[in-house]
Amino acid sequence: MQKKIVITGFGGQGVVLAGRIVGKAAAIRDGLESTLVQSYGPESRGGACSAQVTIADRQINYPYIQHPDILVAMSQAGYEKYKALLIPEGILIVDQDLVTPEAGAGGFSVPSTRFAEEMGLKMIANIIMVGFFTAITDAITLEAARQTVRESVPKGTEEKNLKAFEKGWAYGRSSLKARAKKAAGQIGAFA
Give me the CATH number covering residue 76. 3.40.920.10
End-to-end CA distance of the chain: 27
Question: What tens digit of pLDDT does each residue of 79-127 get?
Answer: 999 999 999 999 999 999 999 999 888 899 999 999 999 999 889 999 9
The count of structural domains within the chain is 1
Distance of CA 113 to the CA centre of its chain: 13
pLDDT of residue 39: 86
Residue length of the chain: 191
191 domain residue, yes or no: no
Structural domain including 134 reads 2-184
Distances (CA, A) of 173 to 7, 70, 105: 20, 17, 20
189 domain residue, yes or no: no
190 domain residue, yes or no: no
67 domain residue, yes or no: yes
124 domain residue, yes or no: yes
pLDDT of residue 104: 83
43 domain residue, yes or no: yes
State the alpha helices, DSSP H only, in 7-63.
Answer: 15-24
51 domain residue, yes or no: yes
The pTM (predicted TM-score) of the whole model is 0.91
Q: Report the relative pairing of strands 2-10 and 33-40 from DSSP bridges.
A: unpaired
For the chain, which ranges sit under pLDDT 50? Answer: 189-191
pLDDT of residue 105: 82
54 domain residue, yes or no: yes
pLDDT of residue 189: 47
